Amino acid sequence: MNTGDAVLTQGERGFRLWMCISFWMYLFGAVFFFVAGKYIPPLINAISARICSLPLYPLPFEAREGAFWLVLSVSMMAMLTWICRAVYMDVRGNGRLVALLLLSKLCSTALYFVLFVKYHYLAYLVGALTDGPIFVLTWGLWFLASPQDKLLNRKEEEILAAVGDALMPRDGAFPLGYLDLQQACLAEVRRMLAAQGPLARVAVRLSLRWVNLAPVFVTLRPARLCGMPPAERSAFLRRAEGHWFLPVRLMVRLVKAHVIMPFFNQPEAMRAIGYNPEAHANPGCIASEGSAEATGATQGG
């Protein structure tokens, strides 16, 4: 069924427009690759030689040497073109196909980046810088288009639990850990997301996904945060929180806020650190029940 603009949400309309643009972009790309694909590497090499001192990408001796890969890239472009058209025609019905689009762009971005780090050819950097923003834009707009009542999916809950366990593990200074209050904390996060605007919600959810995938980019091995042992997870988050690159820090801190704030909003966690929400400054009010001794503190004057 074709979902027309009239019944779509603003986010869905925006994503539909992006799919329309993407359709023409990939269609043009497929035709351009087919007709003029062989000229792209020499062109990038010429630019590379002119503006930077990076090594030149090795060109094939004969045009037909690259034909095998050209066929593959054109067929991939054709597939992406078809996906964009299908999603454009029915955003809600065919929305799941976007996963293929995202997978394709994530793979190309990551591989181009790894190849650039390894071989330093400008062609690979151009590939990463082209596909990366397309991936981020498509992902972001798709998040905006996802149903407003879908605040967290199962995967994101799993990531939150993994981060929560890494930030507030069981035992240590006090026995209570994030996993003991997981359900209450997740319900709290859902309420937080429901109060936020669509862009803030997208930022939180993208940050969750990114934090889960970040170890792949940082350690260059197939390690997602959810799959790491708790101690390694904690160490990774500690490093990422102080990372020199601002977006990395911001995403980790955003996720951390959505773990720690709900956790310490639970009465059990408040009690564990001696916080008494009923305490007040009037004389005779008892702040809390003896946590000072537990932490080795002395009563101040």
Contact set for other proteins, span 166-185 (CB under 8 A): 166-169, 172-174
Site membership for other proteins, residue 8 (CB under 8 A): no
Per the CB < 8 A criterion, the answer to whether 193 and 208 are in contact is no
Site string for other proteins, 13-42 (x = CB under 8 A): -x----------------------------
Q: From the CA atom positions of the chain, what is the Rg in Å?
A: 25
Reported residue count of the chain is 301
Chain residues 89-128 in contact with other proteins, contact rule CB under 8 A? none
Apex CA 135: angle with CA 56 and CA 27, to 5°? 80
**What distance lies between CA 109 and its chain's CA centroid?**
14
As a whole number of angstroms, the distance between CA 132 and CA 208 comes to 18
CA–CA dist 55, 48 (Å, integer): 8
Q: Which of 157, 158, 180, 188 binds other proteins (CB under 8 A)?
A: 188
- Residue located via tokens 């006090």: 174
Nearer to other proteins, 62 or 171 (CB): 171
Cα–Cα distance, 24 to 240 (Å, whole number): 38
State the amino acid at position 135 in one-letter form: F
Give whichever of 111 and 203 is closer to other proteins, judged by the CB atom.
Answer: 203
Amino acid identity of 69? W
Residues 192-251 that bind other proteins (CB under 8 A): 192-200, 203, 230-231, 234-235, 237-238, 241-242, 244, 246, 249-250
Of the candidate spans 27-35, 97-105, 130-138, 262-270, the one that interacts with other proteins by CB under 8 A turns out to be 262-270
For other proteins, which stretch binds (CB under 8 A), given 89-97, 115-123, 205-213, 290-298?
290-298
Closer by beta carbon to other proteins, 125 or else 258? 258
- CB nearer other proteins, residue 123 or residue 211: 211
Pick between residue 106 and residue 206 the one whose CB is nearest to other proteins: 206
